[in-house]
Amino acid sequence: QTSSSSDSVVVIGLGRFGGSVADSLVRLGHEVLGIDENAEVVQKWADTLTHVVQADSTSSEVLRQLGVGEFRRAVVGIGTDIEASVLSVLALEELGVRDIWAKAISYKHGRILERIGAHHVVYPEAAMGERVAHLVTGKMIDFIAFDDGFAIAKTQAPKEAWGATLSESALRSKYGVTVVGVKRGRADFTYAQAGTIVEAGDILIVSGTTEQVERFAALT
Ligand code: ADP
């Protein structure tokens, strides 16, 4: 039986997404109980995860017998089979797991998962698609959007900021973005301050609403 310290996590469905989550959790030092109905998948993860069990996660009785009710956290990585995804979240909810994360493959799927008790719904493909769209246009070097419409981006410093301090270029009042960090050449990022001078070729980390950040990155 798996010990269930607050650090251990159940990961259900060890496909591309669930497998990656489980693998990263192990590397971060957490104990992971992996569950998948596919024997080959279970075999594949047997040496990496703390415990791996071949079982159908749609049954709360099966999950109860595996001790899943003792865990505080669970991640459901099943996506393609929406019925299995929904039933697995429901089973976790019935067992009283307090922190349920689930992957959704569409907005409607996500709505259902939220309704039946998932505490966090993630849309890995939609989120990565949006991110790649920003990167592929070449304006942003990196981009992360949070689900409340707030974003952080890594972008080239626009020309109008060159040779001036951040307080002089007043980017926040003009564009609504806050410069968080500045990087020059190979030096490490430094935290931005009012007196930080930006030069041509500098890279900025900026935060703001998604629209503000997009508008700012388009200046470069
Ligand atoms: P991905 O796109 O991330 O690979 P999939 O939805 O294709 O996600 O993979 C889901 C994984 O979940 C597969 O390994 C599959 O065997 C497993 N799975 C699907 N249904 C169940 C179930 N009822 N119980 C346990 N594991 C399941």
**ipTM of the complex, rounded to two decimals:** 0.95
For residue 186, how many other CB atoms are within 10 A of its CB? 5
18-20-26 Cα angle (round to 5): 100
* Whether pLDDT at 2 is above 90: no
Å from CA of 77 to ligand 1 middle: 7
Å from CA of 78 to ligand 1 middle: 4
The percentage of the chain sitting over the pLDDT mark of 70, rounded to a whole number, equals 97
Interval 10-37: pLDDT, tens: 999 999 999 999 999 999 999 999 999 9
Å from CA of 85 to ligand 1 middle: 8
Residue 94 Cβ < 6 Å to ligand 1: no
Sheet hosting strand 178-183, strand order edge to edge: 140-145, 150-156, 203-209, 178-183, 190-191
Give the pLDDT of residue 159.
Answer: 95
The mean pLDDT of the chain is 94
Å from CA of 22 to ligand 1 middle: 13
Can you give the pTM of this predicted structure? Answer: 0.83
CA–CA gap between residue 82 and residue 71 (Å, rounded)? 23
Residue 55, both tokens = 């079982």
Residue 87 Cβ < 6 Å to ligand 1: no
Q: Tokens 């992996």 sit at which residue?
A: 34
Q: Which of 81, 77, 68 is nearest to 23 (CA)?
A: 77
CA distances from 213 to 58, 97, 145 (A): 42, 37, 10
CB of 34 within 8 A of CB of 45?
yes
190-147-177 Cα angle (round to 5): 40
